[in-house]
Amino acid sequence: MRNEIVNLLKKENKLSEKTISEISNIEIDDFSQVIKDLGNEETEHIKKSEILKDLKTDYIGKELYVYREVESTNTIAKFLSMHDVENGTVIISEKQTKAKGRSGKSWESPLGGVWLSIILKPDVDQSKFPMITLATGVAVAKTLEKVGVENPEIKWPNDIMINGKKVCGILTEAIAKFNTVENVIIGVGIDANLEVSQFPEELQSGTTTLKEELKREGNENLLIKIFLEEFEKISELFNHEGYETILKEWRKRSYSIGKIVEVREPFNTYYDGYVVGINKEGALIVEKIDGTLKKVISGECIIKN
């Protein structure tokens, strides 16, 4: 995180050229206000004023920072979460240069997409944290429905699909101190006004964009505004233990249930199975080839043809 903050400050000419040894002695925490100020500067494509105008939320996005280019909005969110920001603070960037998805996979984030992170300070039992990713998926799917996408689906645990192709990814990270989770960072990347040809060749067959699906360009600021409103609705359900409602909405839009998958759990545990559903904790329930049921808490599911 330190290197990214230094790089952002240097790129925006907030640090003079210094030797590596001098930079290493900088107290990065002293620049928290500068980082916030950078997020309040004018940007070309994502407009803070348009997002906030008539935004119907009580706390999500009320504190909002927009950047021209960062390595990762999640990293900026982690940094700011330690420097006096409100619950529901949102960080947006027009571009990301070193974004990561689950398992450290690179996430292509060119101009034209929606790349944002939300800082939450949830007051719920930590065992419910996996539900945050599912709830975010529901919020994204509802957002896409409102802009004209028919039947967006959610692939466990963190992808949003249109016609079998990925259009959005979600990355949830917990910030803990002394074994207590203080903040949760939710990163969301939506391929909005992009061409599939902008992505690496190996990703193109499994990727789509809103522009290609809707046959038109959309308003990125409006898309963000709708998402923040939908996210607050689902976040309130989460805060008030409305887990069954969240799971019901998730199941209605599930891309995974009823499919044969290859499950890839941590520590290189791979096996094939049939997705039966998800349980009340948000874990995937898979019937293995031998007929036994397996609860998948973390990992990846590859849909098999």
Going across the sheet that includes 260-265, the strands are: 293-296, 284-288, 269-278, 260-265, 300-303
User: H or E stretch including 294?
Assistant: strand 293-296
Q: Which two tokens stand for residue 217?
A: 């360009």
Reported residue count of the chain is 305
Alpha helices, H only, the chain: 2-11, 20-24, 32-38, 48-52, 73-81, 130-146, 201-204, 210-214, 220-239, 243-252
Confidence at residue 163, expressed as pLDDT on a 0 to 100 scale: 95
Alpha-carbon span 57 to 43, nearest angstrom: 23
Token code pair at residue 301 = 């599911």
Q: Give me the pLDDT at residue 65, please.
A: 98
- The distance in angstroms from the start CA to the end CA of the chain is 40
pLDDT of 66 = 98
Question: What CA–CA distance (Å, rounded) separates 303 from 272?
Answer: 10
Output the pLDDT for position 241: 87
pLDDT of residue 300: 87
Rounded CA separation 192/237 (Å): 27
Structure pTM? 0.92
Task: Specify the pLDDT at position 269.
Answer: 85
- CA proximity to 212, closest of 254, 165, 154, 151: 165
| Residue 95: other Cβ atoms inside 10 A | 18
The answer to whether 230 touches 147, Cβ cutoff 8 Å, is: no
pLDDT at residue 200 in the model: 85
- Give residue-wise pLDDT tens across range 73-130: 999 999 999 999 999 999 999 999 876 655 556 666 889 999 999 999 987 777 788 8
Radius of gyration of the chain, Cα coordinates, nearest whole angstrom: 19
Give residue 48's pLDDT.
Answer: 97
Mean pLDDT, 10 residues at a time, the chain of 305 residues = 81 68 70 94 95 97 97 94 95 88 64 96 81 96 97 95 96 83 93 92 91 96 98 94 94 96 88 94 93 91 85
Query: What tens digit of pLDDT does each residue of 133-162 get?
Result: 999 999 999 999 999 999 999 999 899 999
